[in-house]
Amino acid sequence: MSKLLCLGLILWICYSSVGASEGIERVDPPQDITDFSLAGIDGKQHSFEDFRGKYLLVNFWAVWCAPCRAEMPSLQRAYEKLSNPGFELLAIHAGPSIETAQQYANQLNLEFPILVDQELALTGWGIRGLPSTFIIDPQGRIIAEAVGERVWDTPGMLKTITDYMRKK
């Protein structure tokens, strides 16, 4: 009986994390983000000002995180499908080692910007686990979030993301 109860609990947790909105939950009221200045794997410093005025899909991840690694290919495909002047996908590697993040990005041919939060300075974002993904509006407010691995390039997920971008 306890094994059945555990299985039921596991299934409930899995199903409750992915709902009608493809597992992206609205943040209401929207929350202002903590500004940042982080090194990118491109060798440049980046801050939020570099991306202001666009919708951002910001994914916090780490090379050592298996679910993070698993969702990266679908993030790349979503980036290709959603590419437009008003949108940017930004991945922020949590922890040290720009070189490790760069090697992984090169292995997968990731084209979106990847920054490295070496000092874990962005704790003000309310990250509850990795991977964590946020949709940021052009004013710099978190309007939606997802915690845990997702497949980002399904038709439903792409529609959910674009729907958030259409709501002002």
Residue 4 within a domain: no
Domain carrying residue 155? 20-166
Look at strands 114-117 and 87-94 and give their pairing.
parallel
Domain count, the chain: 1
Residue 57 within a domain: yes
User: In this predicted model, what pLDDT tens digit does every residue of 100-133 receive, in sequence order?
Assistant: 999 999 999 999 999 999 888 887 788 889 999 9
Q: How far apart are CA 42 and CA 114, in angstroms?
A: 8
Question: Encoding tokens for residue 61?
Answer: 């991840």
Residue 82 within a domain: yes
DSSP secondary structure letter of residue 113: -
Contact of 13 with 140, CB cutoff 8 Å:
no
Q: How far apart are CA 45 and CA 117, in angstroms?
A: 11
Q: Report the CATH number that the domain containing residue 88 is assigned in CATH.
A: 3.40.30.10
User: In this predicted model, what pLDDT tens digit does every residue of 29-75 receive, in sequence order?
Assistant: 999 998 889 999 999 999 999 999 999 999 999 999 999 999 999 99
